[in-house]
Amino acid sequence: MKNNNKIILNSTSRNGENVGEAHKAWLRYPPLDPNQAKEYASWCGEIVVIASEPSPMIANACEELVNGIGSMLGTTPRVGGSGNLPRYLRIAAGDLAELQGAVETAELEELGEEGYVLKTVREPGRAYIAIAGRTDRGAFYGAFHFLRLMQSGHSLDDLRVIERPAAKLRMINQWDNMDGSIERGYAGRSIFYRKGKFVTDRKRIRDYARMMAAVGLNAITINNVNVHETETNLITPELLPSVAAMADIFRDYGVRLYLSVNFASPISCGGLTTADPLDPEVRRFWADRVADVYRHVPDFGGFLVKADSEFRPGPFTYGRDHADGANMLAEALRPYGGILIWRCFVYDCLQDWRDRKTDRARAAYDHFRPLDGKFADNVILQIKNGPIDFQIREPTSPLFGGMQHTNQVLELQITQEYTGQQKHLCFLVPQWKEILDFDTYARGEGSTVSKAATGELFGRQLGGIAAVSNIGDDLNWTGHLLAQANYYGYGRLAWRPELTAEEIADEWARITFGHDPVVVTTIRRMLLDSWNIYENYTSPLGVGWMVNPGHHYGPNVDGYEYSKWGTYHYADCHGIGVDRTVKTGTGYTGQYHDKVAARFDAIESCPDELLLFFHHVPYTHLLKSGKTVIQHIYDTHFEGAEQADTQVDAWRGLQGRIDSDRYASVLDRLQEQSMHAKEWRDVVNTYFLRKSGIADEQGRTIY
Amino acid sequence: MKNNNKIILNSTSRNGENVGEAHKAWLRYPPLDPNQAKEYASWCGEIVVIASEPSPMIANACEELVNGIGSMLGTTPRVGGSGNLPRYLRIAAGDLAELQGAVETAELEELGEEGYVLKTVREPGRAYIAIAGRTDRGAFYGAFHFLRLMQSGHSLDDLRVIERPAAKLRMINQWDNMDGSIERGYAGRSIFYRKGKFVTDRKRIRDYARMMAAVGLNAITINNVNVHETETNLITPELLPSVAAMADIFRDYGVRLYLSVNFASPISCGGLTTADPLDPEVRRFWADRVADVYRHVPDFGGFLVKADSEFRPGPFTYGRDHADGANMLAEALRPYGGILIWRCFVYDCLQDWRDRKTDRARAAYDHFRPLDGKFADNVILQIKNGPIDFQIREPTSPLFGGMQHTNQVLELQITQEYTGQQKHLCFLVPQWKEILDFDTYARGEGSTVSKAATGELFGRQLGGIAAVSNIGDDLNWTGHLLAQANYYGYGRLAWRPELTAEEIADEWARITFGHDPVVVTTIRRMLLDSWNIYENYTSPLGVGWMVNPGHHYGPNVDGYEYSKWGTYHYADCHGIGVDRTVKTGTGYTGQYHDKVAARFDAIESCPDELLLFFHHVPYTHLLKSGKTVIQHIYDTHFEGAEQADTQVDAWRGLQGRIDSDRYASVLDRLQEQSMHAKEWRDVVNTYFLRKSGIADEQGRTIY
């Protein structure tokens, strides 16, 4: 039996210190219960590898299996045997003949490029578990699935799993800057950069690639969509060797590298005086740069662009539209199979707050809908889930279902910019589920966002899901340890959107903290309650914002009310909310398909939780819940602050059941949240009591 | 006749470029009208110097006279003659015998250390103008006064001026940091420091010393009261040579150098584990540091300390009080004649906004009044003009008149932190006049703040006035050119508080822009109106704040309402204001002497402009003006924004009458102000319309 410490790869240390359990995230593989271990060990003595050619991904899959199994069972499988043991593991890629009998042809055809089969195959006198894909990528993901089954305590005796990812592109956007900062990052500094340079110790990046692979993510942009001066040069010979080194790390874990690029690069680093997408020299500049990129990174994914948005340069400067801009870059990428991802987060960020006609919620649709069908085949539009900006509650963007002839990906935000900045617990999977399951009615009932984003709904070749990362160089990756669940859940959902929030919460809790039912039940409940709790004590009924400007942490009801950002609630002494109806408001509701539009447009059918997003109502308006708006505000804020306390109490119940470091670090965050939730409660309630003059029915203390 | 360009010293250039008229500030000395020049020239052919010993200050006085006269008249006086011309200038210091006949003994005795006589003396066959003091400092200031008379077009034929400064200490506080930034600076970067070091090109600093001298200022702290890491070392051997070089520059212009020090220096740079003022090692540390400072700067002025305020360290950490802290430092300085200036800006900056009992306005008095009489003789308390923080309108601090047995200086803020940040025109001299003339009734009627601060009221030996500088390395020193008038006016008032705002505005306008009556009248009017205009469109009726947190620029009515800074207006749908009365409020009014207390305490006698500082009233409360509070808010905000436009129009009327560079730069700022005043108007009016629900009587547009 080998020494456990020796075979666990994922205990990256900094300056020799033990990085602790939190750092291992979902790759912990702690020793299993001896009975369970014994049962599993009977399958895991040997790994037979069947591959038509040497493959780094298969090698990595074997390494993961060896180390994960070794760590969990205390005994390490031998790799490369010929299957002489009565039971063994067989990992197979590509060479389908070898799988005959184990997997049916029909099953294999469903697998695609990334799918796999896990199957317990019994033959006379022996048995094996097949981990098989049509490609090495498929087998690789199968290996992680197999390890997850062991982590979750699943029986291996009768496996019959066939999976392929729902989304072709399952992407992470790192908003990392080369100075080492991370835009909207709440978990330390960048793991990629320090002081304008790439880091030299890349162990941490490899750990990260493993974490991505384990949850099935297959694409990453390694720099912020706001591409600053230094980062503009990532596509130049000076920095491309370092980019290539990054790509090398991620490649062997199935993750393709993309870069965010500066639309003004032809000027910034090309010596041109224009970035006009129709200018031949500009096109030549990009063709040259792309050629150079592919010389360094042959399987480079493509570019991500934020253009004509929040002061970023773009085609508008030259009187061109987004299709002109995107297609020009796509053309440069096309010869190499690269794709161009263009963000739809475009709006007037110099709005006059006095102007009630202009509606930021309308902006993305108004900009992009008229261009539907004009984008090249290797262009993907990246659409934020909601029309505003990652608020705790927003309706789904009408571009889903609205753009029918254009590739698209759904953009989510794992980093908790508006949802507690990883000081507050806010498990976002339930929110993402609502978004993915939202029915756009674009092709009648069942036209979900999930289907629109993957391309299934309109038969698009490209599609998927992207999300802004929440990781940094904090030892536990995410600042708040429980925020790891958001990253994990994102990956799982991107692969398999039909997973429920409950399933994901349960799975993550087990993998991260083990199978003590008290622990699992408590953490699952804490995660599942947390979105609702956070919403309770922050901005009510879908109206959004009410945060401090700039950093976006903490309550400030009027924080964005008189600003140029297009984010208003219009509260006065009579009522609150934004009239976005067709008849009397901004007309935003008209951007949805009829059935959805009608539901949002009529105050009677508009769901309570989005009421103030769509309607301006008096404080005395009666919600479907039977409460007035003002009483709802008071009640939810008192309740939310109490619930935040309850989360602390729940966690305290786990003391002694989980290791003290992780226990203490989470307790610390929950206590901060509990204190801060009271600040939210009191600021919001006081604001509305002062403004409305309407007392709380229950006479609780408001200041 | 010499070439003018050659003899003007004050045209410091940067990289060889012409720094322009704006840079010369009040040391421009442009050529005078030929008739006027001819008349003056008859007096200015020769300067006879009478001094008992060689004096750098007399030398500098002569240089100023030579250059200033040369520039104005086009002909340069000869220095060091023996008075053979029929008319000449006689500058005399110390040697009183030489002044017999010119100045009466009684007059001389009034002069003190810094006073002077300017007198036209006629003797048979000849006449001279005496510029004389009992010290070289006196004569030096006399020379600047003489130049000012020439700049202002005053006749020299019958001079009879006897002046001495009202305030002994006339100090400037630079809030400069060694990284080159200036806290609350709005005119570029520091002229003293760049990137953690003293600047090497010190011409600009010498220009600044001349500007200070010309308005009679005699003391300067060259670093921020918030003493950061690098600046803590200003009292160490590493940096003292540079400090000494600064002192050398200022010394010859009559300005004594002081340093802001970090109370925690014994820990930060002394290797001790405590900064306890009663600890013998701490006392020894300071004694050593002070001895070292005086080795480098024999006439060093002393220390300025911000302690136990806004997270600065102080004696509270060790259970000591402000007297313990201040006296310990004073003891170290005493052997060298140094003084210790201790700021009274002490309050709870972690206040709970829910707590309506704690009142930041009370804090300074509550902290320091009980210590009256406990401070050493070489301690001076530096007291901000108002109890809060340099707002556009505050009552005067009750410490003036409250502290009777303690030296004190009044602290003003020239830099326009809360008064438009030198983007808006706000001539502060009228505000300062109100402060200086405020009657504390501490010794019955006539017990003005001016007399309390200078020490006259309670017979204190030390006293004076200090102000936070508004200059930086912008070519025109102050960003907004017209903001030079604030610096100029501060110096003039510190010397002679009985000057009127009108006199100062007129004098500055003439010196800066010449004698065109259209120019002088317009600028004087613009300056004198500007405080009222700024108040009109910003926070009303003395309630203060309503600015964006942090940088303090621009409107944000609730910006500080739910903060920890103790700065609230308590506006709700019924009314607004802070109840600081004795009976129902925080009791702050009780800190004043009876007559003042009674006036502020009763809503009937409280002046309108301070109503909301002292009382919480309904929006429908009738002001003495006959308007309701809400209508006053609407009216002043509409009016203020219109007035800001009027300032632009007034300035446009000067096109062609002043040089185009200065014209354009001021126009630019006024236009920014005009635009921004509308933003203020609309935000404030909208806030109050939304909150009160009370319509504007005149039906103007509110959003």
What Å distances lie between residue A284 and A139, A537, B198, B482, CA to CA?
Answer: 40, 53, 49, 52
B127, containing H or E segment: strand B126-133
CB A270 within 8 A of CB A285: yes
The number of C-beta contacts closer than 8 angstroms across A and B is 49
DSSP state of B31: P
Q: Choose, out of B546, B548, B688, B690, the residue to mutate when testing the contact with A (most A CBs < 10 Å).
A: B690
Minimum CA–CA partner of B573 in chain A: A691
pLDDT beyond 90 at B535: yes
- Interface confidence (ipTM) of the complex: 0.90
Please state, for a pLDDT cut of 90, what percent of chain B lies above it. 90
Long-range contacts of A321-327 (CB under 8 A, 24+ apart): A321/A371, A322/A346, A322/A367, A322/A368, A322/A371, A323/A371, A323/A374, A323/A375, A324/A277, A324/A278, A325/A263, A325/A277, A326/A375, A326/A376, A326/A379, A326/A381, A327/A277, A327/A374, A327/A375, A327/A376, A327/A379
> 10 Å Cβ neighbour count for B696?
18
B53 is catalytic: no
Cα–Cα–Cα angle for B648, B651, B652, nearest 5°? 85
A466, containing H or E segment: strand A463-468
CA separation for the pair B573, A436 (Å, rounded): 42
Task: Provide the phi-psi class of B122: left if phi over 0, else alpha when psi is between -120 and 50, else beta.
Answer: beta
A257, containing H or E segment: strand A256-261
Q: Do A558 and B556 touch (CB under 8 A)?
A: yes
Q: Do B556 and A562 touch (CB under 8 A)?
A: yes
CA separation for the pair A275, A260 (Å, rounded): 16
CA separation for the pair A189, A472 (Å, rounded): 5
B389 is catalytic: yes
What pLDDT score does B165 carry? 97
| B455-496 per-position pLDDT tens digit | 999 999 999 999 999 999 999 999 999 999 999 999 999 999
What pLDDT score does A305 carry? 97
Cα–Cα–Cα angle for B204, B207, B211, nearest 5°? 140
Cα–Cα–Cα angle for B463, B466, B467, nearest 5°? 165
Angle at which helices A280-296 and A322-333 pack, to 10 degrees? 40
CB B57 within 8 A of CB B137: yes
For B425-554, list the strands marked E by DSSP: 463-468
Residue in A31, A397, A693, A567 with CA at minimum distance from that of residue B694 = A693
Q: Choose, out of B557, B562, B687, the residue to mutate when testing the contact with A (most A CBs < 10 Å).
A: B562
Residue in B256, B236, B95 with CA at minimum distance from that of residue B171 = B256
Angle at which helices A501-513 and A136-151 pack, to 10 degrees? 70
Burial A335-354 (b: 16+ CB within 10 A, else e): ebebbbbbbbbbbeeebebe
What pLDDT score does B107 carry? 76
Give the mean pLDDT of B373-387. 98
Residues of chain A scoring pLDDT < 70: 1-19, 95-96, 98-101
What pLDDT score does A65 carry? 97
Mapped onto helix, strand or coil, the DSSP state of residue B412 is strand
Report residue B12's pLDDT band, with 50, 70 and 90 as the boundaries.
very low
Phi first, then psi: what are they for B116, rounded to 5°?
-155, 165
How far A415 CA lies from chain B's nearest CA (Å)? 26
| A136-190 per-position pLDDT tens digit | 999 999 999 999 999 988 999 999 999 999 999 999 999 999 999 999 999 999 9
pLDDT beyond 80 at B137: yes
CA separation for the pair B163, B107 (Å, rounded): 10
Please report residues of B whose CB lies closer than 8 A to that of A573.
573, 690-693
Check the CA dihedral A469-A474-A477-A481 and report its sign: negative
Q: Do A556 and B558 touch (CB under 8 A)?
A: yes
> 10 Å Cβ neighbour count for B433?
20
Minimum CA–CA partner of B683 in chain A: A562
CB A683 within 8 A of CB B562: yes
Please report residues of B whose CB lies closer than 8 A to that of A354.
682, 686, 703
CB A474 within 8 A of CB A504: no
Among the partner-chain residues A354, A690, A703, the one whose CB lies closest to the CB of B571 is A690
Q: Dihedral (C-alpha) B25, B26, B29, B32: value to the nearest 10 degrees? A: 110
Q: Tokens representing B567?
A: 């700065």
How many helices (H) does chain A have, and how many strands (E)?
Answer: 22, 18
Report residue B95's pLDDT band, with 50, 70 and 90 as the boundaries.
low
Residue in B570, B539, B573 with CA at minimum distance from that of residue B692 = B573
How far B682 CA lies from chain A's nearest CA (Å)? 8
Q: Do B572 and A693 touch (CB under 8 A)?
A: yes
Q: Dihedral (C-alpha) B177, B179, B185, B189: value to the nearest 10 degrees? A: 130
What pLDDT score does A6 carry? 32
Provide residues of B within 8 Å CB-CB of chain A: 353-354, 555-558, 562, 571-574, 682-683, 686-687, 689-693, 703
Mapped onto helix, strand or coil, the DSSP state of residue A347 is coil
Q: Do B354 and A682 touch (CB under 8 A)?
A: yes
What pLDDT score does A98 carry? 65
> 10 Å Cβ neighbour count for A587?
17
Q: Tokens representing B606?
A: 């409280």
Angle at which helices B660-692 and B517-537 pack, to 10 degrees? 20
| B398-430 per-position pLDDT tens digit | 999 999 999 999 999 999 999 999 999 999 999
Among the partner-chain residues A562, A573, A683, the one whose CB lies closest to the CB of B693 is A573
Q: Tokens representing A65?
A: 């299996």
pLDDT beyond 70 at B6: no
pLDDT beyond 50 at B14: no
CB A383 within 8 A of CB A346: no
pLDDT beyond 50 at B7: no
| B629-654 per-position pLDDT tens digit | 999 999 999 999 999 999 999 999 99
SS3 content of chain B, % helix, strand, coil (to 5): 40, 15, 45
Among the partner-chain residues A354, A557, A573, the one whose CB lies closest to the CB of B703 is A354
What pLDDT score does A20 carry? 79
Q: Do A682 and B556 touch (CB under 8 A)?
A: no
Q: For the purposes of burial, counting CB atoms within 10 Å of the CB of B155, is it exposed (0-12), middle (13-18) or buried (19 or more)?
A: exposed
Minimum CA–CA partner of B564 in chain A: A679
Check the CA dihedral A392-A393-A399-A400 and report its sign: positive
| B143-166 per-position pLDDT tens digit | 999 999 999 889 999 999 999 999
B417 is catalytic: yes
| B265-290 per-position pLDDT tens digit | 999 999 999 999 999 999 999 999 99
